[in-house]
Amino acid sequence: MDLLPVNMPQATVVSRASDAGMTPKEPTAPTDVGDLASWSQENYQLSTSVAAHLGFPVASLGVDAKRCVLIFGSSRWTDVDSGDGHVYRFGVALRVLVQVSNIDIKGGLTLPQVAANVEITDARASAQLMIRGYNGDLGSLLPPWQAFNVDSYAQYVQAVSTIQTKIMSDDGADHIKPQLLATTIAAPTLPLSSDASVGTEFALHAIAQGLSLQQAVDKAREAKLSDAAVAALQEKYQEYGFGAADVPGQDTVQQAGEELNASGPVHPRLRWLFRVGV
């Protein structure tokens, strides 16, 4: 099982897993800073839909763009076993979240590569620095959410270095409050609820078939999906950057198909819908 980064409390993760029919046990976060004995650098490359599912604040960067989210950072942590077979990683972390679009994604991207592409191609990127598990005063050190290019890359390197030195050398219990940083139970396909799972899968099939949001909503209403499922369908289209009348292009059709292939077995409530072409 993959240990995936999250940006939400353990209670939310456990609640979602319970709604999905799993039997998680909420872990107890460590309170002693001395328990955070492991240190590491983070490097993740996620689709925008997966990043949003994991609680990261991603925004639409346009229709039919080649999009991904890069997460880089440093963390100090310890793993907790709650007895449900999953790993819960608690600690303090600083993370640079870079959302990229219109870039040819082949293999792993680095921040310098992204910055260079923004300068010389039509690639676009925005960045923000996120801190989790630390409540000391960092306000004057945080760079703003901004377009990401060569100049802002240099600013982020400087800011990260300064904040990293401050946080990672701080052993004060008043400042470090370990938060959930990553877990094996937050799979990308874990639904918010049964209705949300149906709506999300319905949306992916509709996008993969080239349907606009309005067409997908009409089909969902014809199939008598619940309001919650339709809301999840609309949210998934919004994650892909679509308005009501936007028609998915080939890149997005392919991306939705890949996400479906990675999502595992068809949700039981959707099997009959697939027989009518969705």
* pLDDT digits 0-9 by tens, 227-275: 878 888 888 888 787 878 888 888 788 877 777 665 544 554 454 454 4
Phi, psi of 62 (to 5 degrees): 115, 165
| Cβ-proximal residues to 107 (8 Å cutoff; 6+ apart), any chain | none
DSSP for 52-77, written as a single string: HHTT-------TT---EEEEEEEEEE
Residue written as token pair 């609680």: 55
184 with 2: CB under 8 angstroms?
A: yes
Residue written as token pair 């680095």: 110
**Interatomic CA distance for residues 125 and 99, integer angstroms:** 5
Q: Using one digit for the tens of pLDDT, what is the confidence trace for 55-97?
A: 888 765 444 446 778 898 899 999 999 899 899 999 999 998 9
Q: For residue 85, is it left (φ>0), alpha (ψ between -120 and 50) or beta?
A: left
Mean pLDDT of 187-206: 68
User: Looking at the chain, how many residues does it have?
Assistant: 278
Copy the structure tokens of residue 174. Answer: 């008043």
Residue 104 confidence (pLDDT): 67
Instruction: Say whether 204 sits in a helix, a strand or coil.
Output: helix
pLDDT surpassing 50 at residue 278: no
Query: Is the overall model pTM greater than 0.85, yes or no?
Result: no
CA angle, 268 as apex, 276 and 188 as ends, to 5°? 105
Q: What is the CA radius of gyration of the chain?
A: 20
